[in-house]
Amino acid sequence: MRCRKLYLQNNSRGTGLSLGAGFQCDYMGVTLARCASPPAASGQQQETGVRLIMPNNKTGPRVCLVIILLLAAVLLSPLSALAAEARGVIVKYKPGRVPLSALPSAGAPGRQLARLGVVPVPKGPSESVDSLLSRFQRDERVEYVEPDYARRALAVYPNDSLFGQQWALARLKLPQAWEATLGSREMVVAVVDSGVDAGHEDLAGRLLPGYDFVNDDAFPEDGVGHGTFVAGIIGALTDNGIGMAGVAWEVTLLPVQVLDSNGYGYDSDIAAGIIFAADQGARVINLSLGGAEYSQTLAEAVAYAEGKGVVVVAAAGNDGGPVIYPAAIPEVVAVGAIQQDGSVWVKSNRGAGLDVVAPGIGVHGLRLGGGTALGSGTSYAAGYVSGITALLRSRETWLAPEQVRQRLQTGTTDVGAAGWDEISGHGEVDAWKVLSYHGEMAGREDVNGDGLVDLYDLVRVAGIYGRRPGEPGYESSLDLDGDGEITLGDLRLVAEWYGTR
C-alpha cells in the first residue's frame, strides 16, 4: 500500500489557492480512501472517491493517516500475508506488445512460460510485490499481472518408517484391476513435486531424465521426500520381492522438481514444470501441491497440457476448507482423502470442484534414502488416482482427457449421499469400476449380465461362438482388432457390430 500527501486547490475561480491538505492511500493500483481537512475557502475541489473529513486543518491530516493505516491493516492483512509469500509477479503482455526487455531470460522457467506468453518478474531487494503490481497494471501493453505466489506440498510428514499391509490397494480394488492391465512402459506419469530419489531401490530403472526448475538444472533431486513418497504410490517396482507395490506396475515416471527442500514452490516454476512435462510426452501429471489463491498462469499451463492430451490430477487440500488451486481448476481432477474405514478425512478439503476421494491417511510410500514409510494427506490420495489414471490410459489409449475424467467420476462408490456431494465429490474411486465400465458400451455389451462391461464379456462372446480357453486360436480369436493385445478395444468392435456406440 502507498500513501501520499494531497494539496487540494480551489479551481473554480482559477486562483490556485490551497484549500486544505490530506492523504490518499492506494493498494494494488486502487484508491482505498482519501481524507482531508476542510477547505479554507469555498470552491469546488477536483477530487473523487471516498473522503473522511477531519475537524482540524492543522492536525486533521495526521489523524486521518492513522485512521487509514489502521483500516488498511484490518482489511488488507490477509492480502499482505499472501503478497509476502510471493517472490515477484507474473506478467502477460498483449499479443505483439512484448518489449525486448521482457524477452525470456536463459532460465528454464522463462523459456517454458514463453509458450504461454507470460514472463516472471522477480522483485528486487528494495521492491515490493505491491509496487510491481501497480507498475504493470498501469502499463497498457499488459493483459494481466498477478503475484507469483508460493504453494506447498500437501501432506503430513511422519518421522517413523513403517512396513505393513497396504490397505489402500485392496480398498481401491486394485488386485482385480491388475487382472485387466498392469500399465505400460510407454505410459509416462510426471511427478511435478519436490523431485524424486533416483537412487531408491524400488524405483530402479523406472525414471526418465527430468528437470529441476527450482535450481534450473537437470538434477531433480528430492530434498524433502514428498515427491519420492508420491512416486512410490504411483509406480514403485512391484512383484520384485522388496518394498511396496505401486498402483501401476509398468509405467514410466518423469520427475519434475518445482518445490524446494522446505516443500514450497512458486507458480512460475510449477507452470513451467507442467509445460515441460507435457512437452516431454507425459500422459498424466500429478500435482500433490497447492495454495488458496487462483492463478491464471497455472490455469493456462493446465490448458496447455490438456491441449496435448494430458490428464492433470491434483490434491484437494489438507485444511478442511474449499478445494485449493490448482485442484480447483475445472480441467484438473481434484482428489480428497479417505481413511481406512472409508470415512472422509476431516481435514480433506471439500466443496465445488471436488471430483473424487481416495485413500490418503496412514498409507505407504517410498522413503527418501530407501525403504518405505507411512504418510497422510490428500497429496497421497492424488497419487493413487494418478496411478489408476495411468492404468486406464495404458489400456484405452484413445480416451481424451475429458473422457478420462468422466470415467474416474463414474467409476466410484458413494461415500455419503447418492451422487455428487461436497464432502466426497462423486465418491470413492474404485479401480475395477474405472477399468471395467465403458460409458459408450453400456447395455447390450454387458454380455454376461454382471453389471460391468469388461474383458469377461469378451470371453463370453468367444464362448458363444464355441471357443474355449486352451484351444488353438483361442487368444487370436479374442484379438478382434488385430493389434496383438486383448483389450476393451476388441469389445468395442463387438459393440459396433451390434450397432451400439
Give the predicted TM-score (pTM) of the model: 0.70
Catalytic-role residue among 226, 364, 426, 438 = 226
pLDDT in tens, 389-425: 999 999 889 899 999 999 999 999 999 788 999 999 9
What integer pLDDT is reported at residue 484 of this predicted model? 66
CATH superfamily of 152-436: Peptidase S8/S53 domain (3.40.50.200)
Terminal C-alpha separation, the chain: 60
- Which triple of cell numbers denotes residue 375? 504418510
* 403 CB burial (10 A radius; 0-12, 13-18, 19+): middle
Side chain identity at residue 89, one-letter code: V
**Whole-angstrom Cα distance, residue 448 to residue 444?**
10
Contact call for residues 231 and 192 (beta carbons, < 8 A)? no
**pLDDT value at 15 more than 60:** no
Largest distance between two CA atoms of the chain = 107
**Residue 161 backbone zone (phi > 0: left; psi -120 to 50: alpha; other: beta):** beta
**pLDDT value at 443 more than 60:** no
SS3 of residue 304 by DSSP: helix
Q: Tell me the CB-side half-sphere exposure of residue 88, using CA atoms within 13 A.
A: 12
* Cα→Cα distances 214→265, 295, 311, Å: 8, 19, 24
DSSP-derived secondary structure for 218-270: S----SSSHHHHHHHHHH---SSSSS---SSTT-EEEEEE-S-TTSEEEHHHH
Q: Which range in 22-26, 169-173, 225-229 is most confidently predicted, on average pLDDT?
A: 225-229
What integer pLDDT is reported at residue 80 of this predicted model? 40
User: In the structure, what pLDDT confidence band is assigned to residue 445 with cuts at 50, 70 and 90?
Assistant: low
Contact call for residues 368 and 198 (beta carbons, < 8 A)? no
Q: How do 332-338 and 356-359 pair as beta strands?
A: parallel
Query: In which element (H, E) is residue 60 found?
Result: helix 60-84
Q: Is 379 part of the annotated catalytic residue set?
A: yes
**Whole-angstrom Cα distance, residue 369 to residue 289?**
22
Q: Which residue has the higher pLDDT, 56 or 138?
A: 138
Lowest-pLDDT choice from 8-12, 89-93, 492-496? 8-12
Dihedral pair phi/psi, residue 294, rounded to 5°: -70, 145
What integer pLDDT is reported at residue 66 of this predicted model? 54
CA-based nearest residue to 373, from 202, 500, 240, 205 = 202
**pLDDT value at 84 more than 60:** no
* Cα→Cα distances 169→86, 158, 364, 413, 469, Å: 38, 20, 10, 15, 29
Query: In which element (H, E) is residue 277 found?
Result: helix 267-279
Q: Which residues contact 258 (CB under 8 A, 6 or more apart)?
A: 192, 193, 194, 213, 214, 265, 269, 270, 272, 273, 289
pLDDT in tens, 46-67: 333 333 333 444 445 555 555 5
Catalytic-role residue among 184, 379, 424, 436 = 379
**pLDDT value at 7 more than 90:** no
pLDDT in tens, 317-346: 999 999 999 999 999 999 999 999 999 999
What integer pLDDT is reported at residue 180 of this predicted model? 83
Q: Which residue has the higher pLDDT, 23 or 230?
A: 230
**pLDDT value at 469 more than 70:** no
Q: Which residues contact 180 (CB under 8 A, 6 or more apart)?
A: 391, 395, 435, 436, 454, 455
DSSP-derived secondary structure for 115-135: GGTEEEEE--TT--HHHHHHH
**Whole-angstrom Cα distance, residue 245 to residue 418?**
32
User: In the structure, what pLDDT confidence band is assigned to residue 160 with cuts at 50, 70 and 90?
Assistant: very low
CA-based nearest residue to 494, from 434, 447, 437, 431 = 447
Contact call for residues 316 and 354 (beta carbons, < 8 A)? yes
Q: What is the domain partition of the chain in residue ranges?
A: 2-83, 85-148, 152-436, 441-497
* 449 CB burial (10 A radius; 0-12, 13-18, 19+): exposed
Average pLDDT, the chain: 79
What integer pLDDT is reported at residue 176 of this predicted model? 84
> Residue range 245-263: average pLDDT?
95
CA dihedral 224, 228, 231, 232 (to 10 degrees): -130
Catalytic-role residue among 130, 193, 260, 355 = 193
> Residue range 15-44: average pLDDT?
44
What does R_g of the chain's alpha carbons equal in angstroms? 28
